[in-house]
Amino acid sequence: MALSIIVHGGAKTISEDKVAANHAGCTAAVEAGWAVLISGGTVSEAVEAAIRVLEADQTFNAGFRATLNSEGEIELDAAIMEGSLSWGAVAAVQGVRHPISVARMIMDDKPRLLVARGGEQFAADFGAEMCRKEDLVAEEQREQWQEDMEICDRPNTVGCVALDSSGFLAAGTSTGGTTKQQTGRVGDSAVLGSGLYADGKIGACSTTGDGESIMPVILAKTAIDFLAGDRHPDEAAQMAIDTLVSKVKGEAGCILLDPQGRVGWAYNSSHMACAYMTEWQDKVAFLTQKSL
């Protein structure tokens, strides 16, 4: 099987001064996941490792320094799904450093979505890395929130899709949601079929963008369905985004892998931070914009 991994740092506008940070973060995430794959680790371990890097990087809206909600607090969503249809998810959790790891713990326990205090209690009981909820907030971020400023170039979700040496696929997502979102809001990232989906016989997908636009078109599952008939993931991803645009307003992006390890991605935002590695490459590829 051809090892492959692809990550995204969000469909968004990336200003010139933010390109280097996005490059470094996405590349580091791919390298972390790739190290797991080439050492014989499982596909879920690779996805988790990659997303943990993004969650710890203040460039991205997941984990540390995620966006603040209407109460000035950070609530986090994450999910992971394997091609065998095993999955786990958390939503609206606080004081959790790596929600993607909690989602994986849930998947290993039994498939379910845990929210708010239920997810936090599960994380603590199973030994996840916890912290005071205030520790996830940066002072600069607090000042911006208090001044009622929008962070226009921040991504809305991070994600990863990978294929391991056994031919297993998995997808993962993690997010802090949207700036000043209502407390308790849950977007697409923790919702199977919308924020992510994996089917071992067809492919795996992770999405990013406006959750309220992504969910009604079930974007991740739509992209997977377009892989039917051996369609290339690049074409399937674009078809999925075209479907979203034709039905609802909003920006979105998606990354895709098929069982052959072929990579695809598409978006309708200004940019989309994306990096990937396959057995056919000698180094990580990083892109923020596709040529038209």
Is 157 tagged catalytic? yes
Q: Which of 27, 59, 67, 157 is catalytic?
A: 157
Residue corresponding to tokens 């199973």: 126
Which residues share a beta bridge with 285?
A: 276
Question: What CA–CA distances, in Å, run from 204 to 132, 172, 173, 259?
Answer: 34, 9, 12, 9
d(CA 9, CA 22) in angstroms, rounded, equals 7
What does DSSP assign to residue 67? P
d(CA 257, CA 202) in angstroms, rounded, equals 9
Which residues share a beta bridge with 161?
A: 6, 171
Please spell the DSSP secondary structure of 116-151, one letter per residue: HHHHHHHHHHTT--B--GGGG--HHHHHHHHTT---
Angle at 26 between CA 25 and CA 29, to 5 degrees: 90
CB atoms near residue 17 (< 10 Å): 8
51 alpha-carbon distance from chain centroid: 7
Backbone φ and ψ of 47, nearest 5°:
-60, -45
First to last CA, the chain: 31
CB atoms near residue 123 (< 10 Å): 25
Question: What CA–CA distances, in Å, run from 193 to 184, 229, 236?
Answer: 21, 20, 15
Q: Which residues are catalytic?
A: 157
